[in-house]
C-alpha cells in the first residue's frame, strides 16, 4: 500500500498543479471554527495564569473573604504541590511560543510566587523551594519549546524534500528513456510512463517477477552491487520477446532515506519496439 502511494506522488503533484484554485480557496477561506479559535487563543494563557494564581492563593482568599464554609485543609499545607499547576501554562507557552514564551511565563510565575515566599508561608525555606521549582519548570517549558522547534524544522524539511522529489519524478516521467526505481528488497517503487507503456504497471511488485517473469532474483542482478557499493553500473539486458535494452543504474536515496537503484532503460537499435 505504501509503495502504491509513492507511485501516485507524480499524479497527485500534477493534479494539484491542474487544480490550484480549489486548494487555494480552501486555504484562503478559514472556517468559522478556525476564526473563533484564533480570536480566543490570545486569552488562553492569561486565563490559565489567572486560574493557577487563584488556586495558589485560594486559602488566603477564603480567609480574607471570611468564607469559612469553603475552607479546606489542602490549601493550607506546603504549597509545593499547588505550584505544580503552574506547569500547565509554562508548558503551554513553550509549546505555542517556544523557548521565549516559556521563559516569560516562568518569570511571571516566579513573581506570583514571591508574596507567599516572603510574607505568608510559615514553612521552612519557602524561597529556596520556590526557586527550585521555578528553575525546573522553566527548563521543562524551554525543552518543550526546543522540541517543538525541531519538529517544525523536520516537518518543513520533509515538505521541501518531498516537493523536490516530486519535481524530479515529473522530469523523469517526461524522459524518452524508461526509468525504474527499485528498492534493496527488489520492490519496484517508481516507473515512468515509458516503462509503464513497455512493461505495464508494476509498482509494488518484485522487479524480477514483473520484468523477467521469474520467481527469484536474477542470477546476475546488479541491485546489491549498485546499492551496497554505491557505484554506477552499466549492462545490456535482453528479454525473451526480442526486446533489448542498455541499462545504466546508479544509487538513489528515496524520500524515506532508503538507498535504492535508479535505472535508465534505453532501447537498443534494431530491437523490438513495444
Helix (H, G, I), strand (E, B) or coil at 242: coil
Is the sign of the CA dihedral 167, 172, 173, 174 positive or negative? positive
Confidence of residue 240 (pLDDT cuts 50, 70, 90): low
pLDDT digits (tens, 9 = 90+) for 13-40: 343 344 444 444 444 455 677 777 677 7
What span, in angstroms and rounded, lies between the C-alpha atoms of 89 and 101?
10
Strand-pair partners of 267: 245
Q: What is this structure's pTM?
A: 0.60
Confidence of residue 273 (pLDDT cuts 50, 70, 90): low
Domains and CATH numbers, the chain: 31-167 (no CATH), 176-267 (3.30.450.20)
Angle at 68 between CA 63 and CA 71, to 5 degrees: 80
Residue 78, C-alpha cell as written in the block: 506546603
Amino acid at each position: 500500500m505504501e509503495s502504491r502511494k509513492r507511485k501516485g506522488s507524480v499524479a497527485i503533484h500534477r493534479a494539484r498543479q491542474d487544480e490550484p484554485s480549489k486548494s487555494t480557496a480552501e486555504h484562503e477561506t478559514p472556517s468559522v471554527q478556525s476564526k473563533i479559535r484564533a480570536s480566543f487563543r490570545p486569552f488562553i494563557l492569561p486565563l490559565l495564569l489567572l486560574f493557577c494564581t487563584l488556586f495558589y492563593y485560594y486559602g488566603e482568599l477564603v480567609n480574607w473573604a471570611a468564607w469559612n464554609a469553603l475552607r479546606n485543609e489542602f490549601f493550607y499545607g506546603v504549597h509545593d504541590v499547588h505550584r505544580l499547576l503552574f506547569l500547565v501554562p509554562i508548558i503551554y507557552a513553550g509549546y505555542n511560543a517556544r523557548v521565549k514564551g516559556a521563559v516569560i511565563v516562568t518569570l511571571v510565575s516566579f513573581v506570583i510566587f514571591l508574596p507567599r515566599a516572603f510574607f505568608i508561608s510559615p514553612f521552612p525555606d519557602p524561597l529556596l523551594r520556590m526557586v527550585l521549582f521555578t528553575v525546573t519548570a522553566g527548563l521543562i517549558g524551554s525543552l518543550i519549546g526546543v522540541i517543538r522547534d525541531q519538529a517544525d524544522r523536520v516537518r518543513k524539511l520533509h515538505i521541501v524534500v518531498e516537493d523536490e522529489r516530486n519535481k524530479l519524478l515529473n522530469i523523469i516521467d517526461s524522459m524518452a528513456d524508461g526509468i525504474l526505481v527499485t528498492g534493496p528488497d527488489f520492490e519496484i517503487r517508481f516507473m515512468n510512463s515509458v516503462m509503464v507503456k513497455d512493461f505495464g504497471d508494476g509498482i509494488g511488485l518484485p522487479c524480477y517477477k514483473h520484468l523477467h517473469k521469474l520467481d527469484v532474483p536474477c542470477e546476475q542482478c546488479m541491485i546489491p552491487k549498485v546499492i551496497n557499493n554505491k557505484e554506477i553500473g552499466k549492462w545490456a539486458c535482453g528479454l525473451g520477446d526480442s526486446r533489448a535494452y542498455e541499462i545504466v543504474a546508479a544509487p538513489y536515496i528515496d524520500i524515506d532515506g532508503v538507498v535504492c537503484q535508479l535505472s535508465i532503460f534505453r532501447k537498443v537499435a534494431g530491437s523490438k519496439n513495444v
